[in-house]
Amino acid sequence: MLAVHEHSTFGKTVLRLPGANTGIGKTTAMDLARRGAKVILACRDKRKAEVAIQEIIQETGNQQVIFMQLDLASLQSVRSFADNFLKSESRLDLLINNAGIISGGKTEDGFGMILSVNHLGPFLLTLLLLDRLKASGPSRVVNVSSIGHKQGRMDFNCLTTHKDLGLGSSYFQVHRKYCHSKLCNVLFTYELAKRLQGSDVTCYSLHPGAIMTEIFRDSSFWWTLLIKPVEFLFFKDAEAGAQTTLYCALEPGIEHLSGHYFDQCSLQTNIHPKARDDATSKKLWELSESFCGLS
């Protein structure tokens, strides 16, 4: 396990997006609560979140662990969440976007499910909370991506025509959409850093490692059956998987690396050019703004 330098978050407010009630999301929330932060778990499933919150409070003794309802598959839910957050919370020191599903289908807004949950929802929420992040600076945005972004590509024709990252519903096609969405995370971080220059907000994307989590919970029975033996043999546990997220969230002295991609608590300098392409990141930003009704 890679160590994260001790860095107090006492008195800071941390917003942890979906996945905070299981796996590396819960492990990260546990660590931040133990350091004294006020941790807000933004989740769809209230029952599961409340179980996780009680466990975190019991383990850490920190009573400032709170649930707020959020469904990233609904842009209206994202807007309602942002409104409620801004009314109830005076500061935001750390935003961790942890969404990562592998599931087909469309949302109520007509977008591909993976596109909406893994990219558009976090994109919209980050922008809606950006002024609060700036007012609370120095603050950070951490976007949990995946090494799968290397297999991703941006098909803007498909995005504009079908409001999706790709076509098809086979296991392979759905997994490809997931990889495309993780490339979106890296490109969003890269573009966000450029637009935050001169502010006191920095941002980072990362690969947490191959983790034993519930990411395949919405996949088919046969795909789950196939992946389980591989997961058991080669995947990390949640504690090990949370370390790079914690590094990007807490490590002092990395502010000059805003917009960069990390793996195993280290800056990755050999990232593929497609993940740091100015024209592509700008085009994705503008299209995302349009999809979210911001432009």
Active site residues: 178
Q: Which amino acid is at 85?
A: F
* Contact criterion met (CB below 8 Å) for 65 and 56: yes
- β-bridge partners, 206: 144, 262
Residue 55 has φ and ψ, to the nearest 5°, of -65, -40
**106: which residues sit within 8 A by CB, 6+ positions away?**
112, 113, 164
Nearest Cα to Cα of residue 94 among 144, 45, 163 = 144
Helix axes 23-34, 46-60, angle to 10 degrees: 40
* Contact criterion met (CB below 8 Å) for 41 and 49: yes
Alpha-carbon span 1 to 287, nearest angstrom: 39
Alpha-carbon span 116 to 121, nearest angstrom: 6
Cβ neighbours of 20 (radius 10 Å): 31
Cβ neighbours of 51 (radius 10 Å): 14
Give the dihedral sign, CA 269/271/275/278: positive
- β-bridge partners, 13: 38
* Contact criterion met (CB below 8 Å) for 216 and 223: yes
290 token code pair: 């349009």
